[in-house]
Amino acid sequence: MNTDPEVVRDVFASHYFFFAFLASLGTLQIATANSGIRGLWLTPNRLVNRWLGVALILSGIAVFFSQPLWIEGPWAAGSIRADSVTRQWGQSNWSELAGARNVNDIHGGLDGTRQAIWFPLAAILAFAVAAIIGTLNMRFSKIDSSSGKIDRSDSATQNEVGLEGLTHRSYFANLPDSLRNFRNEIGELWRRELNKADRWSLFRLILGRSSN
């Protein structure tokens, strides 16, 4: 490949980050629409939110794999070979688009380690965007969780925290109560789960001790 692998890696990383962001945001919208977690919705309507999530995922896939057609990279037309080191810098054509992303990580392709870094960052950004827009949605309208219609009543339960709290409140309004509940219950929860895990410990199974 007649270019710096680090330059190629930067191109791949930026494209992959955008792809992971759209896919994560779309998946989050589908999941929250199905479960009624309105604090993370991008729109006030459940059905619209669900289809928006599908559109975001499909858009991420389409954009990622079609970018070589209009963005220059290590996939110039006529230079794509089985060995990525022979490639030239430029734009791909339709006939070679399927192999455009097939670049060895030694020559600048995105390796697993960098994917493990960029994907969580993209997912965190997607969550942040959903939380901010969801806060605006919850501030300007109250939405009936079953139909997705606007509900101006103040009958939402304010004592719920965690994911249940996000069905009635925005992420930022729900966060203080959730953190307070976490601090109050984490000790007991930790001890209870350790006791459950100890029932299946290897030493108990070997020694034949009762799990009760």
pLDDT of residue 208: 60
Assess contact for 49 and 134: CB atoms under 8 A. Answer: no
Residue 206: pLDDT band with limits 50, 70, 90? low
Tokens of 158: 């304010």
- Note the Cα 57 to chain centre separation in Å: 10
| C-alpha Rg value of the chain to the nearest Å | 24
For the chain, report the end-to-end CA distance as a whole number of angstroms: 64
CA–CA separation, 210 and 212 (whole Å): 5
- The whole-model pTM stands at 0.77
Task: Name the residue with higher pLDDT: 48 or 1.
Answer: 48
Top mean-pLDDT range of 14-23, 105-114, 190-199? 14-23
Best CA proximity match to 169, nearest among 131, 207, 112, 197: 131
pLDDT of residue 130: 94
Task: Name the residue with higher pLDDT: 179 or 201.
Answer: 179
| pLDDT tens per residue, range 46-89 | 999 999 999 999 999 999 999 999 999 989 888 887 667 778 89
| pLDDT tens per residue, range 94-151 | 998 988 888 888 888 888 888 999 999 999 999 999 999 999 888 876 544 444 444 4
CA–CA separation, 115 and 137 (whole Å): 32
Task: Name the residue with higher pLDDT: 22 or 165.
Answer: 22
pLDDT of residue 177: 81
Assess contact for 16 and 118: CB atoms under 8 A. Answer: yes
pLDDT of residue 21: 98
From residue 59, how far is each of 18, 96, 156 by CA, in Å?
11, 21, 35
Task: Name the residue with higher pLDDT: 160 or 143.
Answer: 160
